[in-house]
Amino acid sequence: MKMAHYTKQERAMILTMRILMIAFFTTAILFALLPNYTLNYISDIGRVMFSWYSPNVHTGQVHFWLIPTVSFLLALSYLCAVVQKDPAQHIEYVRLILITTFASAVGFAVYLFSVSWQFFYLVGAITNALIFIITVALYSSATRSRNRWTTA
């Protein structure tokens, strides 16, 4: 069996990192190729399913924030790929994923309540908060599953 030497918690970490790797990569590609469409599609979901009316978004000619967004999502995808390859050896990278998802959740929440009542800010806040909570739970259980996972 290929993953027989991993604990149950480590296998859960591997599966979650694989899912997040694909999710971050797909989101990066969507934002790189179709930024307006992606945000407006999320807004349309809020309009249709939750009667959340928010104006359509137009990122305009200058996509300044789109460049770091795509590059950070690709970096997160890479970090997930590294962790899922061998979580025992690369567990410290999970901390970077935790920092970015926490900061993103807080940032989306701040923008939702202080700048614009857009549905995609709510989706971003909830999604990143859930990723953070799930990853924290998996990280703590995986680090406790073996004593060799102690890092300084």
Lowest mean pLDDT, pick from 33-42, 78-87, 105-114: 33-42
For 104, the token pair is 């993103």
Q: What is the mean pLDDT of residues 42-65?
A: 79
Predicted confidence at residue 149, as pLDDT, reads 47
Per-residue pLDDT band at 110 (split at 50, 70, 90): very high
Q: Please give the single-letter amino acid code of residue 61.
A: Q
Q: For the chain, what percent of residues have pLDDT higher than 70?
A: 90
- The pTM (predicted TM-score) of the whole model is 0.85
Answer whether residue 119 shows pLDDT above 70: yes
| Alpha carbon distance 29, 103 (integer Å) | 21
What residue ranges do the domains of the chain occupy? 8-149
